[in-house]
Chain A
Amino acid sequence: DSGVTQTPKHLITATGQRVTLRCSPRSGDLSVYWYQQSLDQGLQFLIQYYNGEERAKGNILERFSAQQFPDLHSELNLSSLELGDSALYFCASSVDTGVLVEQFFGPGTRLTVL
């Protein structure tokens, strides 16, 4: 158990809909990262927040957005969903920012778009 929690575990929805994925980082961690894992694209970095502010952006679509709240939990919002958005979405957290700091991954949210 990494200490990072993600809800829900599974999410099934239809094309065109909007969903929100939630992540609670490990106690004391200020940085949160979101990743998308799909069969065709592998594991891709989406976005990072540090203490409430966006710190780095990866291959995140404009239909996707994220935020980190004062209590440090984070939400990833996916809108106008397409079939290709079906994937496993991971959240990770670290105590600080920077590549020398280990990221701890949550168990993921499996999104299925029908």
Chain B
Amino acid sequence: AQSVTQLGSHVSVSEGALVLLRCNYSSSVPPYLFWYVQYPNQGLQLLLKYTTGATLVKGINGFEAEFKKSETSFHLTKPSAHMSDAAEYFCAVSGNTGNQFYFGTGTSLTVIP
């Protein structure tokens, strides 16, 4: 079975500061990991995904995430927050044999000017 835990339902950062959104996963098979972003009144948009290979994954809008198997983590980072980054962020996991995604409960990011 797969699941993800997102630590911190709300995160606030100052504009220009580092963004760190935490995600830990549980998976009985080698996981595929994803980060999605949801802007107000919109659907989810894929930010980045880890399947196999390089453990540091770069996504859109300057975000990146590192797969750390020893820590069962897939934290999302961005060196410098922008006002437009304010949104809800979801971590998701899926086993490599299924079509189902298991989403975390989401982290709401607020960027303070």
Contact = CB atoms under 8 A, between A and B. Distances in A.
Interface string B29-57: 00010001000011111100101000000
Interface of A: 2, 4, 31, 33, 42-45, 48, 55-56, 58, 90, 92, 97-100, 102-108
A105 B99 contact: no
B46 A102 contact: yes
A31 B101 CA distance: 14
14 contacts: A31-B99, A33-B99, A43-B44, A43-B103, A58-B100, A90-B43, A90-B44, A92-B43, A100-B32, A103-B46, A103-B101, A105-B36, A107-B43, A108-B43
B90 interface: yes
Contacts, number: 55
A92 B45 CA distance: 10
Contacts of A31: 99
Interface residues of B, number: 23
Q: Give me the 10 closest cross-chain CB pairs, A-B, nearest first.
A: A105-B43, A43-B103, A42-B105, A99-B94, A105-B44, A56-B99, A99-B32, A107-B43, A45-B100, A106-B43
Nearest to B90: A43
A100 B46 contact: no
B48 to A, nearest CB: 11
Given A43-B44, A105-B36, A107-B42, 11 more contacts: A33-B99, A43-B106, A45-B100, A48-B99, A48-B100, A55-B99, A92-B44, A99-B95, A99-B98, A99-B101, A104-B43
Contacts of B90: 43
Contacts of B98: 56, 99
Contacts of A104: 43
A33 B101 CA distance: 10
B103 A42 contact: yes
Nearest to A100: B51
A103 B100 CA distance: 11
